[in-house]
Amino acid sequence: MTDNLLLRPWTGPLGGVPPLDQVEVSMFEPALVTAMAHKRAEIEQLRSNPEPPTFANTLEALERAGATLDRVAALYGVWASSFATPELRAVRQRVEPQLSELHDAIFQDPQLYHRVEEVAGEPGLSAEQTRLIKRYLETFRRAGAQLDPAGRERIAQINQRLSILYTTFSDNLLADEESHVTFLSEDQLGGLSASWIAGAAAAAEALGATGSWAVTNTRSSVEPFLASSTERTLRERVWRAYFTRGDHGDEHDNKPLIVEVLALRLERARLLGFESHAQLQLQSTMAATPERATELMQRVWGAASAKFRAEVAAMQALADARGDEITIEPWDVRYYAALIRRSEHDLDPAELQQHYQLEQLREGMFWTATQRFGWTFELEDLPVPHPDVRAWRVRNADGSDRGLFYLDPFARRGKRSGAWMMPYRVQDRLDTPTLPIVSNNCNFLKPPPGQPTLLTPDQVRTLFHEFGHAIHGLASDVTYPTLSGTRVPRDYVEFPSQLNEHWMDTPELLSRFALHQQTGAPPSPELLERSRAATNADSGFRTMEYLASAVVDMALHQCTDPVEPAAFETQTLAAWGLPPEVVMRHRTPQFAHIFSGDSYSAGYYSYLWADVLTADAAEAFAETGFYDRAISARLMETVLSRGNTIDPAEGFRAFLGRDTEVEALLRDRGLI
């Protein structure tokens, strides 16, 4: 079993670290097949136990099963998201159905299901143990354990087919992103910042186009270009390339996959006794029903739409005053929003960007955790999968180990777009204490050697957002792996991450770490005041592009008839009254959140739901001070450390002392 490196226990500090520097793609398939067989054997031993079921011989045995597979799957996940070579993509097509089949073989097993049901009545169980049983029973029921053999078989077939479709969707999207690049000549660089130009030159050189500048088809490249380029024709070309990913009618077109995914999800939901996939997905969330999630979106939509229409009117007035002779289109919105920041707030985004050095802000990010929780971060020489990746040892205030944090900040070929937190190992105390290992992954443009990485304000927000997820994973203090860290409902998991964004704007951080790349000076109070005044200058736009995606996601997954994705987008958003100057942040053919897996399907509303919690909690921090140790300790005790051991609403109520109120969100976004 140990001939394959991936199957060996991890060695090194903190209970072992992943051998990220020794992985080869050829190792994955045999390692996964072997690890899956090992888990099957462990489960068979559990289910054939002749002793009456107890929490120890059933739930704890389930929690221990698959440790080898967990290690292999962690490394496989890193490569699938960050090093997706054609060879790795072929492996995924073969192994994803096998992983799906294993999951169903376990959670469709009536014998195992009934063992867990029997344990539910065991006397003397703790609240955490009761919560774990509830979580397992939900998983068994969602897999169809209560169905007849024919129903279980059909569910398994659906899940295996979906696993292939999800992988293909992701591969198609990555292929479209990698195959379409807009190369610029020197006379097409008008308005673009020096840091963006340097990154675009480096990107072009990496693609073999030295002497030109590359707009890669990723958000980190496209959005700054759209906000700054004076070339309107180029803005439209870049915008269309980005918002038509997966929608070209070729071998990478995702629309046929979407139709099949939706049909299979609906069939599965109905087999399980639900009217729609949305109803199935939301049963264990804070929202609980599609209707409650939609009600929140409707409440925010009206205010955001009104503000966005006012923003567009101001943009059109500015364009007219400049003699631009245009009607504002979607590829103009970011550009004119930036012009308005300059004209109304005397704020040039490039002025702020000179203070936003990744290396400095990363240290500032760590500093905020030190001030709030007493944690320290020490750079460690540990195995990494790429020279850009670095690792830090995280310690508690008393010097004891808390876990490990990895950061992979830059875009590259084979790395999926966006930003995400990934746990390599979750915390638990099931046997000996296991410390968490987490990573943050971003897609910032890498500058030429010797130059600092300068971030836009939105990219700084992304950095702090993902670090909020990392804090959540590192803070975990639970007994059972299934309930650990970020393994909470989707509409709650974004609460710690979105709350953490608020520390990026604190004067204490900015004065110490937002240091000008040339002078080393912090931003002046006057610059910070101008920045604060402009915070919500385009909040209507930002809210509407998000809501458009969330609304379509929920509507798609409540639909009970076959749909054509493009027509459904248009019809749904017309019914809601989406202004023509804005489109979905993620159109359906590129909506990886909901079509590259199940987790966020009928769940993109979660960011809004969590932001209601976030805005309310941020007001509480603003009252006491963002670095107040007492309120930080309360957040740690009631939210961050608890994982999924308590009901999220109960945890939030324990933190704030009451239920949340949506008005805080509307105030935060300047919508009231």
Task: Please state the rounded mean pLDDT for residues 50-67.
Answer: 98
pLDDT tens per residue across span 7-19 = 999 999 999 999 9
Smallest Cα–Cα separation from 443: which of 463, 422, 465? 463
Say if residue 56's pLDDT is above 50: yes
Which fold, 358-527?
Neurolysin; domain 3 (1.10.1370)
Smallest Cα–Cα separation from 98: which of 164, 153, 47? 164
pLDDT score recorded for residue 672: 82
pLDDT band at 662 (very low <50, low <70, confident <90, very high): very high
Tell me the three state secondary structure of residue 440.
strand
* Average confidence score pLDDT of the chain: 96
Tell me the three state secondary structure of residue 182.
strand
pLDDT tens per residue across span 234-258 = 999 999 999 999 999 999 999 999 9
CA distance 341 to 320: 17
pLDDT tens per residue across span 122-144 = 999 999 999 999 999 999 999 99
Predicted TM-score (pTM) of the model is 0.95
Give the DSSP letter of residue 625.
-
Say if residue 2's pLDDT is above 70: no
pLDDT score recorded for residue 351: 87
CA distance 481 to 431: 11
What proportion of the chain, given as a percentage, has pLDDT over 70?
100
pLDDT score recorded for residue 1: 47
Task: Please say if 223 is a catalytic residue.
Answer: no
Query: Which of 42, 60, 63, 466 is an active site residue?
Result: 466
Q: How many CB atoms lie within 10 A of CB 19?
A: 18
What proportion of the chain, given as a percentage, has pLDDT over 90?
96
pLDDT score recorded for residue 210: 96
Q: Where in the chain is the domain with CATH 1.10.1370.40?
A: 358-527
pLDDT tens per residue across span 81-115 = 999 999 999 999 999 999 999 999 999 999 999 99
pLDDT score recorded for residue 3: 87
CA distance 412 to 444: 9
pLDDT tens per residue across span 478-510 = 999 999 999 999 999 999 999 999 999 999 999
Say if residue 233's pLDDT is above 90: yes
pLDDT band at 162 (very low <50, low <70, confident <90, very high): very high
For 18, the token pair is 């992943």
CA distance 60 to 128: 12
Who's near 170: CB < 8 A, 6+ residues apart? Answer: 84, 416, 592, 596
Task: Please state the rounded mean pLDDT for residues 268-296.
Answer: 97
CA distance 62 to 430: 11
CB 489 within 8 A of CB 286: yes
